[in-house]
Chain A
C-alpha cells in the first residue's frame, strides 16, 4: 500500500524548528504542565478531526461541526444536570451528533445538495434550536461526576488525552486497514469508478457525516466536561479549527488522500503555535491570521506537488511511488 508521509514529516520538521525558536527565546515554554495543557486543548479538536478527515477523504465538507459541538454539549449538560447516569449522558451526546450527521448525510447523498450548503443550513438550524431549548441562557452548576471526566487524570495522563489517543489509534486503523476505510479513499478519488467497483457511494457519504457527528458528540467528553458552564454560543469557529487541522495535516481537500496521524499532527501544530505565540509575547489577536496562513501554505504545497513543481519530498524509505 502506498502511503505518502511527506506532509507528516514536514509538520514534524516545522514543529522542531518552532521548538528551537522557543528554546532560544522562551525556554519557559518547556515544562510538563504546559505540554499537558496543549495536549488537553487539542484533544477535542483531534477527536472531531478524525470524523472531518473521513468527510474530506470523500471530497465532502462539514461546516456544521461547531454547531453540533454546541448541540451535543447542551444535551450532555442538560441530561447530566437532570441526574442521568454519566455513561448514558455521553451516549445521548454521541447519539445527538450521529442523528444530526445522518440528516446531513441523507441530504448530501440522496437530495444531491452540495455538502457546503447542507451543513451551512444545518448550522443555522441547530444554533436556533439550541437557543429555543435553552432560552439562550447558559447551563450552570454541572455536576461534579460529569466534570471529573474532563478534569481528572488516569495513570498520570489527563482523561481527555487518553480519549484522544484512543480515537487516534482507532482512526488510524480504520482508515488504513478496514474495508470501509479504504472505500473512503476510493469514493474521494473517483466516485464513478468506486461505484463500478461495487462500493455503495451514497451509503458511504451518509456514513462519513454520521461518523463526523458522532465523533463531535464524543468530543464533548473532552470539552464540555472541562468547564463549569455550557455557553449557548459555544463551539463558534470550531469548524474552522478542525478543518485547519485536517487540511494542514495533509488531507487533500479534493478527497482521496490523507491520514489520521496527519490530522493529529495538524491539530498539534495549531495547538503548539497558539501557545507559542503567548510565550513569544505576540498578541493573541494575530493567532487567527497565522492559522489562515497555515492553511494556505499547506494547500499551496499540495497543489504544487500535484503539478510536479516541487520534486523534493521526504518519504519513508519503504514507500514506493504509485504506478
Chain B
C-alpha cells in the first residue's frame, strides 16, 4: 500500500485519457448527427439537467473510494425536497427551508454512516434499506402531494442564469471544486483513499476509520439534499417521487470516471468526465431524436463496456 501515490499517478490519468478520447469521439459523432450540438447554449442545457445527478455523484465518489456504496441518494433527494416544500408551505422563509432541507439530507447520511459503522451492517444493505425508508417517509409525510408556489428569486436557482451560465451550474462548480480539493489535497482525502485500499491497515495506522466513514456518508447525504433543493427550484415543485433512479446515474458516472467499485481509487476529475460523457451522449441522442429509452440502452452498454475495459486493464497489469 505504500506505493499508492505512484499507482495513482499511473492508473488514473490512463483511464481519464480513455474518457477524454471517448468524449471527443462522442462529441464529433453527435455533431454529425445534429449541428446544434457543439454550441455553448446547448452545452449549458446539458449541464443544467445533469447538476442533480452530478451533486449525488460527488458524494458517491467519496463513498465508492472508501469501498462503500450509497443507494439512498435518490430517496434523500426526494425527502429533502419534500421537507423543504412542506416547511415553505407552512410559511417558513424559503431559504431557511432550503437550509433545513440540506440539513435533512445530512442527517439521512449521518444515519447511514452510523448504521454502517456502529451496527456493522454492509453499506449496500444499509442504503438499500434507507432507500426504501427515506422514500417511504417522503411519500408518507407528503401523502404523495406536491408543493409549489415559490418566490421567483428561489426559482432562479433552478432556471435562471448568472451571466450566461445556469445558476445551479455555478453552485455545482463551487461544490465540485471543494470536494475535489478535499479529496486530493487534505489529510481527510488521503484517509478516504487509505480506508478504501485497506480499512484494517488504515485503522492500525491511526486513521479514525469510523469517524471518516460517518463524515463521508453525511457529506453524500448533504449533497443529495442540495440536489433536492435544486430539483425543487428547477421544476418549481417539491415532489415525493423526485430523484427516483438518481443513484444509478450517479454510480454510472463515478464508475465511468474510473473509480474502482471495490474502493481505493477514483477522483473528482474522473467523475466530472464521466458525468460529461453521460450528459453528452444523452443530449446528443436527444438532439438526434433518439428516444430516452434507447439512450438508456446505450448508456447501460457504455457502463458495462467501460467497467469491462477497466477490469481487463487491471487484470493485465496485475499479471505483469
By a beta-carbon cutoff of 8 Å, the part of chain A in contact with chain B is: 61, 107, 111-114, 116-118, 120-125, 127-132, 136, 240, 243-244, 247, 253-254, 283, 285-293, 295-296, 299-300, 303, 307
CB–CB A136/B293 < 8 A = yes
**Chain A binder among B9-17, B51-59, B133-141:** B133-141
Q: Show 5 residue pairs from A and B whose CB-CB distance is below 8 angstroms, ordered by the A residue.
A: A107-B304, A121-B301, A124-B299, A243-B128, A300-B115
Interfacial chain A residues near B126, Cβ < 8 Å:
296
Contact residues of B between 199 and 225, Cβ < 8 Å to A: none
Across the interface, A131 reaches (CB within 8 A) one of B130, B137, B293, namely B293
> Which of chain B's residues has its CB closest to A282's CB?
B140
Across the interface, A289 reaches (CB within 8 A) one of B140, B251, B295, namely B140
**In the complex with contacts A117-B307, A123-B300, A283-B140, A253-B125 CB distance below 8 A:** yes
Q: How far is the CA of A118 from the CA of B311 in the complex (A)?
A: 12
Interfacial chain A residues near B129, Cβ < 8 Å:
292-293, 295-296, 299
Contact residues of B between 278 and 313, Cβ < 8 Å to A: 291, 293-301, 303-304, 307-308, 311-312
**Chain A binder among B33-41, B116-124, B160-168, B186-194:** B116-124
User: Number of B interface residues, CB 8 Å?
Assistant: 46
CB–CB A125/B304 < 8 A = yes
Across the interface, B307 reaches (CB within 8 A) one of A113, A129, A300, namely A113
CB–CB B122/A125 < 8 A = no
Interfacial chain A residues near B149, Cβ < 8 Å:
none
Q: Does B198 contact A (CB under 8 A)?
A: no
CB–CB B132/A291 < 8 A = yes
CB–CB A112/B315 < 8 A = yes
CB–CB B136/A288 < 8 A = yes
> Which of chain A's residues has its CB closest to B132's CB?
A292
Interfacial chain B residues near A121, Cβ < 8 Å:
300-301, 303-304, 307
Q: How far is the CA of A240 from the CA of B244 in the complex (A)?
A: 13
**In the complex with contacts A107-B304, A118-B304, A289-B136, A132-B251 CB distance below 8 A:** no
Q: For the complex, would chain B's binding face be called helix, strand, loop or mixed by DSSP majority?
A: helix
Q: Does B248 contact A (CB under 8 A)?
A: yes
Across the interface, B125 reaches (CB within 8 A) one of A113, A120, A132, A247, namely A247
Q: Does B77 contact A (CB under 8 A)?
A: no
Across the interface, A292 reaches (CB within 8 A) one of B133, B144, B295, B301, namely B133
Interfacial chain B residues near A127, Cβ < 8 Å:
293, 296
Q: Does B255 contact A (CB under 8 A)?
A: yes
> Which of chain A's residues has its CB closest to B255's CB?
A117
Across the interface, A295 reaches (CB within 8 A) one of B132, B134, B140, B251, namely B132
Contact residues of B between 224 and 247, Cβ < 8 Å to A: none
Most buried by A among B120, B124, B129, B291: B129
Task: Known pairs A121-B307, A125-B296, A299-B121; list 16 more (Cβ under 8 Å).
Answer: A113-B308, A116-B69, A117-B255, A117-B307, A125-B297, A125-B304, A127-B296, A128-B298, A132-B297, A240-B132, A288-B136, A289-B132, A289-B140, A290-B136, A296-B126, A300-B121
Interfacial chain B residues near A112, Cβ < 8 Å:
311, 315
CB–CB B293/A132 < 8 A = yes
Interfacial chain A residues near B130, Cβ < 8 Å:
292, 296
Most buried by B among A117, A132, A136: A117
Interfacial chain B residues near A253, Cβ < 8 Å:
122, 124-125
